[in-house]
Chains A and B, each alone.
Chain A
Amino acid sequence: MELFLHQLLAGIATGGIYACMALAVVMIYQAIDHFNFAQGEMAMFSTYIAWQLMQWGFPYWLAFTATVVISFIGGALIERALFKPIRTAPILSQIVVFIALFSILNSLAGFIWDYTIKSFPSPFPAEPILGNRLISAHDLGMIGVTLLLLALLYLHFRYTRLGLAMRAAAANPDSARLVGIRVGWMVALGWGMASAIGAVAGMMIAPIVFLEPNMMLSILLYGLAGAVVGGLNSPGGAVFGGFAVGVTENLAGTFVPVVGRELKLTIALVLIVCVLMLRPAGLFGRAAVSRV
């Protein structure tokens, strides 16, 4: 029972990270209708920036804030420079540009900061809270940060003019343009926000997996899976999906005999595909209705 509880909590904790990534994925998906395959590498790059700032002597939270701002600007710039010129190109061409961005960021990070594994500090106290050995303070903090982000996003999209404009630009660009919304800038804004969320996810996961250019590979995969399970047009669903994937992965790895350890990833993915078979638009997604 204690093992079960332990694995469950560990699953929820890693799920928090997947949830952050899933959230970032859904943000860009809302803005441009595509997966961003380079999302993980963007988050990794942001984390390196934070690490570099701390090496230069910045205190944690200052480096954290600066990184979020830099990532926001960087994300918006990437959209302006790389994706605006090909906005009307076929989807496959855009996916290839995502792949290109992925390999550029990965290679650059390795070139600038080399491939040695670096440790990254956690902002939360090292000793367990209340003598509770089941879950570390960092894990708890991570879950808290994820939920806080989700709440902020909800408020932004639900109650601010800018959030409304962004939703309008995504839902119906032509009509949005007619009422005076600058759709191009809304897309760039979506990229910026996704990049900033990714940066937070990166800085939260780095103390656990350590910092190196390939740290985000499997995390992005789980993040995508979470986003799809939850539904690509539902940020709340994406967060739920992220947690669900984290828990499933941990429990399957521990309790499915023989193949559990070797096939952790595979089992999680099979489950995801099964969910999709039952609900093709994700658990919380709305299915698009097609009319003839």
Chain B
Amino acid sequence: MLRLINCQHATLLIEQRQDPVMPQRERASLWLHLHLCPYCKRYSRQSILITEWAWASAAGRVQAGPGLSAAAKERMREQLVAAG
């Protein structure tokens, strides 16, 4: 039985869709809504983009940027020697 759902519900289900335990009935309702609503279809694509960018952005920062200052390294070294 396909239920008509609103955009608020659909955008929540878009997040939950990655969850393997999402009931089949909700999947079907979301599928129907996305067929009828261009805004939510757009949102669904953008939601995936946002998560891809967040991951890529963090990964990119690992590769670049400043290292640990010499003073901090020395301070940590002394700490380790004292605690060791």
Q: Do A and B come from one complex?
A: no
Interface on A for B, CB 8 Å cutoff?
none
Interface on B for A, CB 8 Å cutoff?
none
